[in-house]
Structure 1
Amino acid sequence: MSPADVAYLDMKYDILTPHGLTWAKGPTRIEDAYGWDPAAVLPGVEEEQLLGVEAPMWTETLRTMDDVEQMAMPRLAAMAEVAWTPQAARDYAEFVPRLVTLARHWDAEGVHYLRPHGIPWP
């Protein structure tokens, strides 16, 4: 399952994001990427029928690996929780501190992640 308006990593995070596209529905905020329920996308498709989720990234607007990293992170972390954590167990307010901790690891490894507004980045 990979609905473009929440799962595509090449969508802008907000209007200020320097790279990416907006064709799916406009920018895809980190809250959007975290908050969707794969079992609610297609009527008649039950959760046990889903094989998983994917986070596509088309790179026609991305020129460098830094661009790719910035578009992937932090939404890729949100997508991982969507894939691995049942909807009822997910809470965005609880996700943010874990994301900030993960960002410290990205900093240590030199990953060029995007820092959308509203999160207390390190």
Structure 2
Amino acid sequence: EKHEQIRNWPDLVKAGIVVAVPMLLILIQPDLGTALVFVAIFMGMLYAAGTELKYLASLIGMGILASPLMWKFILKDYQKMRLLVFLDPEAPQYRAFGGYHVTQSLIAVGSGRLFGRGYMQG
């Protein structure tokens, strides 16, 4: 049985290229949500494959360090606004961009508690 683990940077880069090709095609669409799902799946696969934690931590660190560059040069204005609304849906400046809907959905889910209130019961 052939079972290899990712134990060095060249192997990690090879695995990253395999995932990066379809992810870049998805980003061209632009579909940020699906691309982020690819990142999460890739990280989970690396962990399941036995990749050393120092490599996973390095990738996470590089992602965090690259975040300001992605915010400034890659994300479009509407994508930035969606992230800001997600982080603070109650801010008045985001109401026109969907903050109202996020807040109302939280109220609806919160008022139903564990088993809900029943059909047409508020």
Length-normalised TM-score, structure 1: 0.29
| Larger radius of gyration between Structure 1 and Structure 2 | 2
More helix by share: 2
Choose between structure 1 and 2 for higher RCO, CA contacts under 8 A separated by at least 6 residues: 1
Length-normalised TM-score, structure 2: 0.29
